[in-house]
A and B are shown apart, each in its own frame.
Chain A
Amino acid sequence: MAVQSPPRPDAGDASATGLYCYGIVSARNARPQRRGLGDAPVEPVAHDGVAALASSVPAGTVRARRRDLLSHMDVLGAAFEHGTVLPLRFGTVFENEGSLVQDFLAPRHDELAALLRDLSGHGELRVTAHYREDAILAEVVRENRRIAQLREATRGAGAGHPALIELGELVAAEVQARTARDSRALLERLRKQARRYEVGDEPIEYELLRASFLVDQKRVAKFEAELERFAADQAGRADVKLTGPLPPHSFVSLRHGGH
């Protein structure tokens, strides 16, 4: 059952390989593809209508280098141009074709087929928006008198000034309040065009929103238009970026303990 056995002491076994798996497609959309990790050819391994896109990798560990991550993404992206793809998380390696079918494609067949049907015609749109530091801080100083006063009182003062923490705490609270308000407003607009969405939970400084949306291809233009309006409203205050449609990384999952 183990994915990879540790490097064997009897070595000399440089030919030992594993089968790296990128994602799942419908077997009728499966075709040999661009090259994958380590420049190895990517081949579909089909079982009863579903197919895994896989390529040979040296046995042992998979390195998560920049080019490996890009390979993973590129293989999925190329497949996505021909139809629905269920991305696997980076780093999934089977012993061989037999174990790929026996441990994954066969026991999970119905789930995978259902996911492929369900996500057909959908893509993941990734939205990130960040405040411009100077603009949001200036806004906070203008709109909060206490902050303006504390700022005047502590300017040019040493780093040990006791009011600095209060000032910083108030600024942080104001920025957080704006984040909450603006992200809610943006989500309110975008959720109407999306079937599902998922918001990144770890707060990053000056981040207004980091979220993924599952969007029907037919609604992508409307989604973009909504986001464009928001970006125009926020011009000079926040920068908004849209990536995708991508394969639905954030919207696939399997039931646990299925086999």
Chain B
Amino acid sequence: MAIATQGTASNYLQRAPSPSGLADVVELILDKGLVIDAYVRIAVIGIELITIDARIVIASVDTYLRFAEQVNRLDLTQTEAAGLAELRDGGSNGSDKAKGAMEGVKEKVSGD
């Protein structure tokens, strides 16, 4: 409950006041922080056993083929339907207006 009421309510932003797990901070712990000249982690073993994210260099033939495969596998029916709805509503301007109106309401409410 304490966590749910922290900050302003948002359905979109994932909030973690303190790290919820290692994934978010492992890079900070291992690569950042003060390093003392003579003490450069020579005592640490086992770091190679920790899987961080798979780091993928985007510019490679392998990646191109994977992108191509992903695009070909893509089911566009859902997103196409969404696109049509957008057209009917007068394109992106329409949805921007709606969003603007929503934000106006939100600001009024939170301003009280």
Chain A residues near B (Cβ < 8 Å) = 1, 3-4, 18, 23-24, 60-66, 69-70, 72-73, 77, 86-94, 103-104, 108, 124, 126, 128, 133-135, 137-142, 147, 151, 154-155, 159, 164-165, 167-169, 171-172, 175-176, 200, 202-205, 212, 221, 224-225, 227-229, 231-235, 239-246, 249-250, 252-254, 256-259
Contact = CB atoms under 8 A, between A and B. Distances in A.
Contact of A90 (B8, B44, B55, B67): B44
A142 B7 contact: no
| Residue among B44, B50, B65, B76 with most chain A CB within 10 A | B44
B10 A231 contact: yes
Contacts of B45: 61-64
B15 A140 contact: no
Kindly list the 3 A-B residue pairs having the minimum CB-CB distance in the complex, ordered from nearest. Answer: A168-B64, A91-B44, A168-B68
Most buried by B among A90, A142, A151, A254: A90
Contact of A241 (B14, B18, B33, B76): B14
A224 B79 contact: no
Interface residues of B, number: 64
B25 A141 contact: no
B72 interface: yes
Contacts of A232: 10, 12-13
B89 interface: no
A237 to B, nearest CB: 11
Contacts of A140: 71
28 contacts: A4-B43, A23-B34, A60-B43, A61-B45, A64-B30, A73-B22, A88-B36, A89-B34, A103-B39, A137-B71, A138-B79, A140-B71, A164-B65, A165-B65, A175-B67, A203-B56, A203-B57, A224-B13, A224-B15, A228-B13, A231-B13, A234-B12, A235-B12, A241-B24, A246-B18, A250-B28, A254-B35, A254-B37
A227 B15 CA distance: 11
A5 B85 CA distance: 69
Nearest to B24: A243
Nearest to A138: B79
A243 B13 CA distance: 11
Interface in B39-77: 39, 41-47, 49-50, 53-59, 61, 63-72, 74-76
B16 interface: yes
Contacts of B16: 241-244
A201 B103 CA distance: 34
B4 to A, nearest CB: 15
B97 interface: no
Given A225-B8, A231-B10, A141 B71 contact: yes
